[in-house]
Amino acid sequence: MAKQTPRTLSGFMELLPAPQRQMERIMEILRETYSLYGFTPLDTPVIESSEVLLAKGGGETEKQIYRFQKGDADLSLRFDLTVPLAKYVALHYNDLTFPFRRFQIGKVYRG
């Protein structure tokens, strides 16, 4: 059995404790600032239907995403926050007030 070398996959981020604390502080400041100006936090799923994520991009985007099958479902990890936001607005259009003041801080994955 070959010896495994630990590594972080492309498109994923791991920080050591000191930089992680800095990152958390920056995100805390961003959240507080957005909230002061009336923006609401939003969290969209990390996994989406590949059909949704690739609707506009295709080509180059398809080469960069992490895509997998679960049963009959063709799924992908989100590669940005724009497409999930567009899907969210389309799904909840009648329940939202515009301009829709939201912010999202979330992980994205590109291979």
* pLDDT tens, N- to C-terminus, the chain (111 residues): 788 999 998 888 899 999 999 999 999 999 999 999 999 999 999 999 999 888 876 677 888 889 999 999 999 999 999 999 999 999 999 999 999 999 999 999 988
Q: Model-level pTM?
A: 0.83
pLDDT number for residue 9: 86
pLDDT number for residue 57: 65
Pairing relationship of beta strands 102-103 and 40-41 according to DSSP bridges: parallel
Please, what sign has the CA dihedral across residues 69, 70, 74, 80?
negative
pLDDT number for residue 63: 83
For residue 19, whether the previous peptide bond is cis, meaning omega lies within 30 degrees of 0, is no
Neighbours of 77 (CB within 10 A): 21
Domain limits, the chain? 42-103
